[in-house]
Structure 1
């Protein structure tokens, strides 16, 4: 290995690490607020990338039907609950958010010449379709068992992951897709070339991380999520709705996942089940941070990205094994240095 190859591998590792850092942020956030180990995080990456690919190729995105179907079920569930609680006026708002919005979006997407749209509009349509599935998933899958033990929530996450992978095969088929890069520029820096798409990925990740930091420190909703993560019972006593916190958390997780998929789809071929491996590497980074510290998780994400990149050069057949083996010493170290506490019944 010479210096040029090392720099190329380092560039790839940092690019991948930027995506894993975003996913680690989502996993840490979801676990801190809801105690859910969000295994389907990677599926939002695949759904975002493949939805953009369908739009770019002029096909009506099949995920639109999933959004509409989930909206119908949520409308029925929340509408019946509101009527039983004597709050019939809320039914209009519930239907507006969960049913009218998907119907209007469906009509808009159906009427547009998808292939001829600018890339920015295609990305926006992708986010408008995929991101609302996050709060809907929380409402249908996790909210009914929000007080269950972590193990039960983990089992439900596995079930949701399997269901989303199966639906992905139905919606997108077994073929892989790549999308057009945001930029075709190439910059020569010393002995290596840096592509415009790589710069897009790294800068977008940094901007999004900074935006989230400002959201958590400057806005009332961000502070509410921080309070819920630090002390759920205290936050509930202060009037912060656990249901609202959960939906907002899953909204942010879906946004991070879909955005990550959009960013990496020009770099690597995405299949219906690709998201699982990508999300799992973000999970390794989150584990390094103990599912609680985002700065450590971000550093772990860069470590995972670099380890994966250099492993692909030295032992490409075992690069996934090497990356996931990183979890073992981390877990052993945390097991030896952390005081164990039984979960409250």
Structure 2
């Protein structure tokens, strides 16, 4: 290996690490606020990328039907809850948000000439379809068992992941897709050629991380999520609804997943089950951060990206094994240096 090859591998590692950093931050956020180890995070990456590919090819995305079905389920749950609480006046707003919105999105996708739209509009449509599935998933799957143990939440999370992979095969088929790059430009930096897509990935990741930092530090909702992450019972006593915190957290996680899929799909072919490996690599980075530290999780993501890139050169057949083996010394070290704390009753 010469210096130029090392630079190329380092560039690829940092690019992939930027995506893994976003996923790791989303996993840390979801676990801190809801105690859910969000295994389906990678599926939002795949759903975002493949929905964008469908729209770009002029095909009506089947995820829009999933959005409608999830909206009907949420409307039924919230509507019954409102009726039982004697708050029938909330029914129109419940129906408008959970059924009216999906129907409006379906109408847009049916009426607009999808192939003639610009890439930015196609990405916006993708986000309108896939991102709301995050809070809907929380309402249907996790909110009813929000007080369960971490183990039960993990089992349900794995079941949700398996269901989303199966639905992905049904919606998108077994073929893989790539989307057009956000930029066709390329720049010469010494002996290294940097593509415009690489710059987009790294810049978008940095901007999103900064935006999240400002959100948590400057906004009321961000401070509410921080309070919930630090002390759920204390936040509840201060009037912060746990259901609202959970839905907002899953909304952010879905947004990060979809944006990650949009950024990575021009670089690599995405299949219906590609989110499994991508999400697990983000999970390894989150474990390095102890599912608690955002800076350590971001550092772990870059480390995972670099390890994956260089191991693909030295031992491509074992690159996944080497990446996932990284979790073993981290877990051993944490088990030796941390004290067991009983879960809250």
TM interval, short-chain normalised: over 0.9
Equivalence for 1:280: 280
Question: In the alignment, which residue of structure 1 is the partner of 2:247?
Answer: 247
2:257 partner SS? helix
Q: Distance in 2 between matches of 1:218 and 1:171?
A: 39
Compute the displacement of 1:341 (Å).
Answer: 1.4
Structure 1: runs of 5 or more not aligned: none
Matched with 1:44 is: 44
Deviations, residues 214-258 of structure 1 (Å, cap 9, x unaligned): 000000000000000001000000000000000000000000000
Structure 2: unaligned runs, 5 residues or longer: none
Name the counterpart of 1:158: 158
Question: Is the aligned partner of 1:227 residue 2:227?
Answer: yes
Residue matched to 1:201: 201
**SS of the residue 1:89 aligns to:** helix
Report the CA distance between 1:92 and its aligned residue.
1.2
- Secondary structure (helix, strand or coil) at the match of 1:210 reads helix
Which whole-Å CA distance do the structure 2 matches of 1:211 and 1:166 have between them?
A: 33
Residues of 2 paired with 1:326 and 1:231: CA distance? 31
Matches within 5 A, 1:1-345: 1-345=1-345
- In the alignment of these two chains, the number of paired residues is 345
User: Over the residues paired in the alignment, what is the CA RMSD in angstroms?
Assistant: 0.5
Q: State the distance in 1 between where 2:52 and 2:275 align.
A: 15
Shift of 1:90: 1.1
CA apart distance, 1:97: 1.2
Partners of 1:258 and 1:178 lie apart in 2 by 14
Give the Å deviation of 1:91: 1.1
* Structure 1 residue 344: Cα displacement: 3.1
State how far apart, in whole Å, the 2-side matches of 1:343 and 1:183 are. Answer: 48
The CA deviation string for residues 146-177 of structure 1, in whole angstroms up to 9 with x for no partner, is 00000000000000000000000000000000
TM-score (norm 1): 1.00
Q: Distance in 2 between matches of 1:220 and 1:96?
A: 26
* TM-score, structure 2 normalization: 1.00
Distance 2:91 2:303 in 1: 48
